[in-house]
């Protein structure tokens, strides 16, 4: 199902977006957001428009909306460096999903080995997780490709690498004075620069997955290690007893320890939604679906939030229609589509959905009352 207003082909859509970019009010992010959202109602499958909308949402502090846009852009046009960089950086900076960021960036770097932004981002991540040898390799490659890249040169100097002087001629002033990224100070390490080709460096960096140091290794007394299952059972116990705040605390501790725990992410979404914190609810529903994209409950929860609270009707319809193709007899999905159809004055379509509900559950009183209302 498409949510576009008129049929289009991708060539026409890309050209239309290029024309929009030339006239867009980039000095006013809120106006630019409106312009791109309007464009996407006509051309919903232009990946770079979704990506650019994500950038603008992030600038505006709308992190949940930014993540949704980045994810959609990556689904529409995978293996595109700009899109992958934005999504991986969001995973790394905002979600602390370091493993996912490393996997995405190392995968795409094999196809674009001379992309300075990819190399720099991998250098930043390597430095943050204590892999200074790999960081030196990435930054050194950037310095080879772009001798005037001050970010890479400053990083190499910070890592104890002697950086040759740049050629005598200079780049434009605005490139010389770009601020360099400065991570927290680290003590000089005896680790020599990583040797070998790109594949060796990437293999060594990937070897850190699931063992990345996230915090101080100092042991915490009186806190024996608890499994994710233990924490989840504890949270369920709190929720069953009506202690939602304690359940939230336990689930937050769980996802901090194990962000891949999809059930915990979904349950956090439910609890935050009950508390009226819909931004956090959506954030955790998105995280649950990212970890387990086939789970229909997670998807229905997100679709309901999109439609009932956030006003993102098109995205809710897209989720529900995909669910209906996979689960044609799902009562919740049929009912939701009937409600949305009625709200949009598509009464025949609403009647079709609700008739299907009644054919499956003739005793369904809510469905009968809904049909009378039509």
- The pLDDT tens digits for 112-166 are 888 999 999 999 998 888 888 888 899 999 998 888 888 888 888 888 887 777 6
- Cα–Cα distance for residue pair 252/236, rounded to 1 Å: 13
- Cα–Cα distance for residue pair 283/290, rounded to 1 Å: 11
- Cα–Cα distance for residue pair 152/140, rounded to 1 Å: 7
- Cα–Cα distance for residue pair 163/144, rounded to 1 Å: 10
* CB of 70 closer than 8 Å to CB of 83: yes
Which tokens is 233 given?
Answer: 């059972």
| Residue written as token pair 């705040």 | 245
CA dihedral 323, 328, 329, 334 (to 10 degrees): 60
pLDDT in tens, 262-279: 899 999 999 998 888 888
- Cα–Cα distance for residue pair 251/253, rounded to 1 Å: 5
DSSP 278: H
- Cα–Cα distance for residue pair 297/209, rounded to 1 Å: 29
Per-residue pLDDT of the chain (374 residues; tens, 9 = 90+): 334 333 346 677 878 888 888 777 666 788 888 888 888 888 888 899 999 999 998 888 888 788 888 988 888 888 889 999 999 999 888 888 888 888 889 888 888 888 999 999 999 998 888 888 888 899 999 998 888 888 888 888 888 887 777 665 444 434 433 433 334 443 333 334 444 566 666 666 666 665 544 433 343 343 446 678 888 888 888 888 888 888 888 888 888 888 888 899 999 999 998 888 888 888 899 889 988 888 999 999 999 999 888 888 888 888 998 899 999 999 999 999 999 888 888 888 889 999 999 999 889 888 888 888 88
Sign of CA dihedral 156, 147, 150, 100: negative
Hey, is 32 helix, strand or coil? Answer: helix
Domains and CATH numbers, the chain: 1-77 (1.25.40.10), 80-166+174-210 (1.25.40.10), 228-293 (1.25.40.10), 313-374 (1.25.40.10)
Hey, is 250 helix, strand or coil? Answer: helix
Element (H, E) at 206: helix 198-206
What are all long-range contacts of 185-193, with beta carbons under 8 Å and residues at least 24 apart? 186/127, 186/132, 188/160, 189/132, 189/160, 191/132, 191/133, 192/133, 193/133, 193/136, 193/137, 193/140, 193/161
* Residue 287, burial from CB neighbour count under 10 angstroms (0-12, 13-18, 19+): buried
pLDDT in tens, 186-214: 333 333 444 456 666 666 666 666 554 44
- Cα–Cα distance for residue pair 39/264, rounded to 1 Å: 36
Which tokens is 122 given?
Answer: 């991998």
- Cα–Cα distance for residue pair 333/49, rounded to 1 Å: 29
């Amino acid at each position: 199902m498409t949510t576009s207003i008129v049929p289009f082909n991708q060539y026409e859509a890309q050209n239309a977006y290029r024309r929009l970019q030339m006239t867009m009010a980039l000095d006013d992010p809120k106006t630019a957001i409106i312009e791109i959202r309007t464009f996407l109602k006509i051309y919903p499958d232009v990946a770079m428009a979704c990506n650019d909308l994500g950038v603008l949402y992030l600038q505006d502090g709308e992190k949940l909306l930014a993540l949704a846009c980045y994810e959609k852009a990556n689904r529409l046009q995978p293996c595109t460096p700009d899109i992958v960089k934005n999504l991986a950086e969001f995973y790394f900076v905002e979600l602390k999903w370091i493993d996912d960021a490393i996997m995405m960036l190392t995968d795409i770097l094999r196809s674009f080995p001379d992309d300075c932004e990819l190399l720099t981002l991998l250098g930043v991540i390597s430095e943050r997780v204590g892999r200074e040898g790999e960081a030196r390799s990435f930054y050194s490659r950037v310095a080879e490709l772009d001798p005037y890249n001050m970010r890479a040169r400053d990083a190499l100097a910070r890592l104890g690498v002697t950086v040759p002087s740049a050629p005598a001629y200079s780049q434009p002033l605005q490139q010389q004075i770009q601020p360099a990224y400065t991570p927290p100070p680290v003590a000089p390490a005896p680790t020599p620069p990583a040797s070998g080709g790109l594949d060796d460096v990437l293999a060594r960096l990937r070897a850190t997955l699931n063992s990345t140091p996230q915090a101080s290794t100092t042991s915490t007394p009186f806190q024996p290690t608890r499994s994710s299952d233990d924490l989840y059972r504890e949270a369920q116990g709190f929720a069953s007893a009506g202690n939602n705040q304690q359940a939230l605390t336990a689930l937050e501790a769980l996802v901090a320890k194990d962000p891949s725990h999809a059930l915990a992410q979904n349950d956090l979404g439910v609890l935050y939604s009950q508390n009226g914190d819909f931004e956090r609810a959506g954030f955790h529903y998105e995280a649950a679906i990212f970890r387990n994209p086939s789970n229909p409950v997670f998807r229905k929860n997100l679709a309901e939030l999109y439609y009932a609270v956030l006003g993102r009707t098109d995205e809710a319809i897209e989720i529900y229609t995909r669910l209906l193709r996979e689960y044609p007899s799902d009562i919740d999905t049929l009912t939701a589509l009937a409600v949305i159809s009625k709200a949009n004055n598509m009464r025949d379509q609403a009647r079709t959905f609700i008739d299907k509900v009644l054919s499956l559950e003739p005793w369904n009183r809510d469905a009968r009352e809904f049909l009378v209302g039509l």
